[in-house]
Every structure is written in structure tokens, then in C-alpha cells.
Amino acid sequence: MGRPSGRMAASFLLGRAMDNDDRPNADLKALVRTIPDYPHAGIMFRDITTLLLDGPGFSTCITRMTASLPARPDLVAGIEARGFIFAAALARELGVGLVLLRKKNKLPGRVTGVNYALEYGTDRIEMHADAVQPGQRVCLVDDLIATGGTAMAGVELLRGAGARVEEAAFAIDLPDLGGAQRLRAAGVTPHALVDFPGH
């Protein structure tokens, strides 16, 4: 097939998909499966397992998530569990370390944690207390941002350890649920490849 054309190469660097559909990342959006009424009635579950099953698609997703960042961070922080998949691949692509933000009681060392509100009840994420050094620039990563409760808890946890958190990367944004806006208000720029209006 030869070398990619200049337009293809430029669009790749800009994180734009030019095949089939000129909308940004339409090729990746087509790989996300929507399952209605999971885990509750009324929820449209955006299932990334179909994206992961597509080797070139997952690889392209990671390349474009990497290209969306304005600068290389010192560390990438992944949120359990689906965030780990994207964060680990992104850390490998960037050549930086990975810090795991885990559900409570999963980490073996001394931890620091943050409680956050869920629709019903509360949850908690933790990280090793010595994982991040003050002043390190950390990029937060998850598969999807919805209300932003999870991501904001991650930002609070990392900042509590002295990290500078100014960028966050997601494969998917549900913009109408307001999470990306919450991050912006907190001084974190959210980067997402695909959005699904509505919920």
C-alpha cells in the first residue's frame, strides 16, 4: 500500500480519523458497543471490550490518547479496573511509570485514600503513600468519564500526595453528565477521543 499520504500522516498526528467518516475518531467510536439497561435500567453501558478485541483499533486508540497530551508527564495514574488497561498501555507508549489507584484494601503497602460519593452510597480509592513524589506531573487515565466523581477522587488523592495533576486522558466522555466540566473547573484538562451525547 506504500507510505501513508501527507494528509493521513498529519491526521494521525492530530488524532483525527479520516477513513470512512470525517468526524474525529469515528473509526474508534464504531468499535465501542452500547449495551442498554446495564447494570441498571436506563443506563447505556459503553462497552470497551469490543474495542480491546480489535488489535489495530486498540493500538490506534492508545496512539491517539498519547498524541492528545500536550507534554509527557512524569507518571501515568490508572483507575481500577478498566482504567488500568488504558493507563498501562499509555505509560508504555510514553516511557513513564504507572501508579495504580485501587479499590479499598487491595494494595499491600501503606496507603492513602479518598472516599467519594456514588449514586447510592460511597466508595473509596487508595494508592501507595510513597508512590508519587511531591511536584511530579501525573496524568490521570480512565476508560470513560461520566459524572466525574471517580476522576475527581483520583485528582484529590494524587494532589494530596503533592502531585501536579493538570491533564487527564479518557477513551470516552459522556459530556452531558458533566464530569469533563468538573475537571476543567478543578484545573485539569480532560482529553477524550470519543463522546456519546446523552447518557
Q: How many residues bind ligand AMP (CB under 6 A)?
A: 17
Q: Which of 80, 82, 93, 137 is catalytic?
A: 82
Query: Taking CB under 6 A as the rule, does residue 149 contact ligand AMP?
Result: yes
**CB-CB contact of 170 with 148 (8 Å):** no
E strands present in 27-72: 33-36, 44-47
DSSP-assigned beta bridge partners for residue 98: 76
What is the pattern of x (binds ligand AMP, CB under 6 A) and - over residues 42-71? Answer: -xxxx-------------------------
Q: What residues numbered 104-133 form the site for ligand AMP, per CB under 6 A? A: none
Sheet holding 97-103, edge to edge: 111-117, 122-128, 97-103, 75-79, 137-145, 164-173, 189-195
CA 188, CA 182: separation in Å to the nearest integer? 9
> To the nearest whole angstrom, how small is the minimum distance from the Cβ of residue 11 to ligand AMP?
28
**CB-CB contact of 125 with 113 (8 Å):** yes
> To the nearest whole angstrom, how small is the minimum distance from the Cβ of residue 40 to ligand AMP?
10
In the residue annotation, 167 being an active-site residue is answered as no
> To the nearest whole angstrom, how small is the minimum distance from the Cβ of residue 3 to ligand AMP?
37
Residue 64 CA, chain-centre distance (Å), reads 12
Q: Which residues bind ligand AMP (CB under 6 A)?
A: 43-46, 79, 82, 142-151, 179
> Which residues are known catalytic residues?
82, 119
